[in-house]
Amino acid sequence: MKYEKLANDIIKNVGGKENVNSLTHCITRLRFKLKDKSKANTEILKNMDGIVTVIESGGQYQVVIGNHVTDVYDDVNSIGGFGEGSEESSDEKVSLFNKFIDTISGVFTPILGVLCATGMIKGFNALFITFKVYSNTSGTYQILNALGDSLFYFFPVFLGYTAAKKFKASPFIGMAIGATLVYPTLTTLSTGTPLYTLFAGSVISSPVYITFLGIPVILMSYSSSVIPIILATYVGAKIEKCFKKLIPDVVKMFVVPFCTLLIIVPLTLIVIGPIATWAGKLLGAVTLSIYTLSPILAGIIIGGFWQVFVIFGLHWGLIPIAINNLAVLHYDPILATTFGASFAQTGVVLAILIKTKDVKLKSLCIPAFISGIFGVTEPAIYGVTLPRKKPFILSCIAGAVGGAIIGVMGTKLRIMGGLGIFGIPSYIGPKGMDNGFYGAIIAMLVSFALGFILMYFAGFKDGENKDKNKEINILVKQETILSPLKGQVKSLSEVQDEAFSKGALGKGIAIEPTEGKIVSPVDGVLTTFFPTGHALGITSDNGIEILIHIGMDTVKLEGKYFIPKVKQGEHIKKGQLLLEFDIKAIKNEGYSLTTPIVITNSDTYLDVVETDKKTIEYKEELMTVVI
């Protein structure tokens, strides 16, 4: 294996095979779903040769590799035996937004490569027609057009497979639902005189041509659709799960899909499909109205912040909107505004490549520039521009200008084609090269040139930010919480008090002390010191609020065996002795000394990462708060 050592090191530092729920990859990143992110050695991974950086976003632990991610993925998969990943349950609480981003990326990531490839074929086919290389009646055109249309026309079948994998259902059930939605005979039934019309006179007036067991079926065109199949597969996964519990194992193989499909397919055609289609049309209309309100402002905002969206994985929120617009409107103006962003990034990198005298930086710029030309900007972002702040900001400014030009010119994305220069044919209109197409070309050239000029004349210091940790973490501030105790480390879930174990008081960790001393874990103020001495609250100089609660129910001791060494309100330093207590005497009284250390305002921070050590000494790193 070409990347065997790197693969082994990655598996080891994400917490081992047993800590991985699933693994996928996109153009440049390995995307892990971990059971416990605190077990991952993020800083070690960031400093490892062959890894650009590590990002935690959308409920995923993303290891950015670069253009050769597929080869690394294959080796990691081979060594780890992850297959296509079966996501087990995790105790980690994930926000609704992160769940949405994770779902969207999980459904669309596996097919993005083929989606771009077929889009490129369709785009170049249109380009060759425009330049009269061959006619639209030739066999060459017909075959290439069929290939280019294949995935998008049968999108529900492909999405049925990936959505089923994401929702932990049988992939072939998802495909069967999708295939039914695009079944040719069904699409030809909505002709002639309808039996009657539902919701007549309203915006959702729907003629009914057929019924199922007497129930009206509203026939829709599901070819190229996105929302109906994803929702149908989600509901189908729930139905399949129920039947798996009810049906005996001896007949489960064929009875489960039989029962599931008999329920979900009619339910989809009668209820889910029409509602989802109406929702899709509404989504398309809303996004178009926002764009119509101010195309220039939309271009500036989306084009300027697109690279930021990519960093945090937020771009996944726009991709399904674009695909839905393509299906409903047959064009998308939203994603089109991002076309100049990658070229802006690439122009900045070229300026740095020309001006820098740093040999190492030049070696980073060359592959980053080449990747950027083809629309893959992660090597440029993480390796070159983001660590140096100013270049990244300048690239965002140039991208915003490109977005504004696209807004002014009314450029629209016609197909989901390739990235970078391969994306040019995606903007050819139905009548050939129109103003929108030329707008895309102008935006591309202006973004590239402006990024280059701004960077060339703005200047930067060679060799700045050489420490890779400082480079990558410029967007994320961290504070380390040192251990106030010596002893055995335990998960907060092991504490015999639900207020602590269920995280109601905040994220944190617990220690079973082996020595009766509490020292300060941070520089800050002792804001609370209970008169009984059993608990104290500290606010760090950065505003982190820490609660240290010595033992369970020890308040009943009314201060006996606790000896305070400081007073409430005092400013304290890391490692300063705060309290002494008699371990043996407290245990003899029948009390547990398991001590939670909790960040009570953890909801205001990005994350709290606990140590993976089993035992700990005073002043060793206990937790890291990501601010």
CATH number at residue 557: 2.70.70.10
Domain region containing 485? 478-626
Across 99-103, 194-198, 383-387, 533-537, least confident range: 99-103
What whole-number percentage of the chain has pLDDT above 90? 41
Residue 122 resides in a domain:
no
Highest mean pLDDT among 36-50, 287-301, 397-411, 475-489: 397-411
Please work out, in degrees rounded to the nearest 5, the angle formed at the alpha carbon of residue 54 by the alpha carbons of 356 and 395: 40
Instruction: Considering the candidates 365, 396, 549, 571, report the single residue annotated as catalytic.
Output: 549
| pLDDT of 453 over the 50 cut | yes
Q: Which of the four pLDDT bands, split at 50, 70 and 90, describes residue 83?
A: low
Q: How far apart are CA 448 and CA 266, in angstroms?
A: 51
Given 460, 475, 490, which residue is the final one in a domain? 475
Given 475, 500, 522, which residue is the final one in a domain? 475
Judged by DSSP in three states, 302 sits in: helix
For residue 343, what pLDDT is reported? 95
**498 vs 239, more confident:** 239
Given 422, 455, 475, which residue is the final one in a domain? 475
For residue 96, what pLDDT is reported? 67
Let me know whether 208 and 342 are in one domain: no
Distance of alpha carbon 499 from the chain centroid: 31
Highest mean pLDDT among 308-322, 469-483, 587-601: 587-601
- Report pLDDT digits (tens) over 364-380: 788 888 878 888 787 78
Count of domains in the chain? Answer: 4
Average pLDDT over residues 472-501: 81
Would residue 549 show up in a list of annotated catalytic residues for this protein? yes
Let me know whether 453 and 497 are in one domain: no
Average pLDDT over residues 499-509: 85
Let me know whether 483 and 470 are in one domain: no
Let me know whether 182 and 281 are in one domain: yes
For residue 27, what pLDDT is reported? 65
For residue 468, what pLDDT is reported? 43
Residue 121 resides in a domain:
no
Radius of gyration of the chain (CA): 29
Judged by DSSP in three states, 23 sits in: strand
| pTM of the full structure | 0.54
Judge contact between 492 and 507, C-beta under 8 A.
yes
Would residue 26 show up in a list of annotated catalytic residues for this protein? yes
Distance linking the first and last C-alpha atoms of the chain = 39
Residue among 80, 99, 222 nearest 159 (CA): 222
For residue 67, what pLDDT is reported? 67
| pLDDT of 431 over the 60 cut | yes
Average pLDDT over residues 278-297: 79
- Report pLDDT digits (tens) over 114-158: 876 887 787 788 778 878 898 888 999 999 989 988 887 898 999
Token reading at 291: 């764009």
Judge contact between 599 and 607, C-beta under 8 A.
no
Instruction: Considering the candidates 25, 26, 116, 396, report the single residue annotated as catalytic.
Output: 26
Residue 106 resides in a domain:
no
Let me know whether 604 and 557 are in one domain: yes
Let me know whether 39 and 168 are in one domain: no
Let me know whether 457 and 508 are in one domain: no
Residue 73 resides in a domain:
yes
Let me know whether 620 and 549 are in one domain: yes
Residue 99 resides in a domain:
no
- Report pLDDT digits (tens) over 9-25: 999 999 999 899 888 88
Average pLDDT over residues 253-275: 93
Locate all alpha helices (DSSP H) within 420-575, ordered by sequence.
435-458, 468-472, 498-501
Let me know whether 57 and 182 are in one domain: no
Let me know whether 519 and 590 are in one domain: yes
The CA-based diameter of the chain, rounded to the nearest angstrom, is 94
- Report pLDDT digits (tens) over 40-81: 999 899 888 888 888 876 678 889 887 678 889 889 988 988
| pLDDT of 112 over the 80 cut | no
For residue 97, what pLDDT is reported? 60
Residue among 7, 24, 27 nearest 379 (CA): 27
Q: How far apart are CA 173 and CA 169, in angstroms?
A: 7
Let me know whether 484 and 461 are in one domain: no
For residue 472, what pLDDT is reported? 42
**405 vs 608, more confident:** 405
Judge contact between 361 and 367, C-beta under 8 A.
no
Residue 391 resides in a domain:
yes
Domain of residue 53, CATH code: 3.30.1360.60
Let me know whether 301 and 188 are in one domain: no
Highest mean pLDDT among 100-104, 223-227, 392-396: 392-396
Judge contact between 232 and 177, C-beta under 8 A.
yes
Average pLDDT over residues 278-307: 82
C-alpha distance from residue 587 to each of 225, 320, 561, 581, 590 (Å): 65, 59, 11, 11, 5
Q: How far apart are CA 468 and CA 473, in angstroms?
A: 8
Residue 213 resides in a domain:
yes
Highest mean pLDDT among 92-96, 294-298, 376-380, 510-514: 510-514
| pLDDT of 35 over the 80 cut | yes
For residue 124, what pLDDT is reported? 82
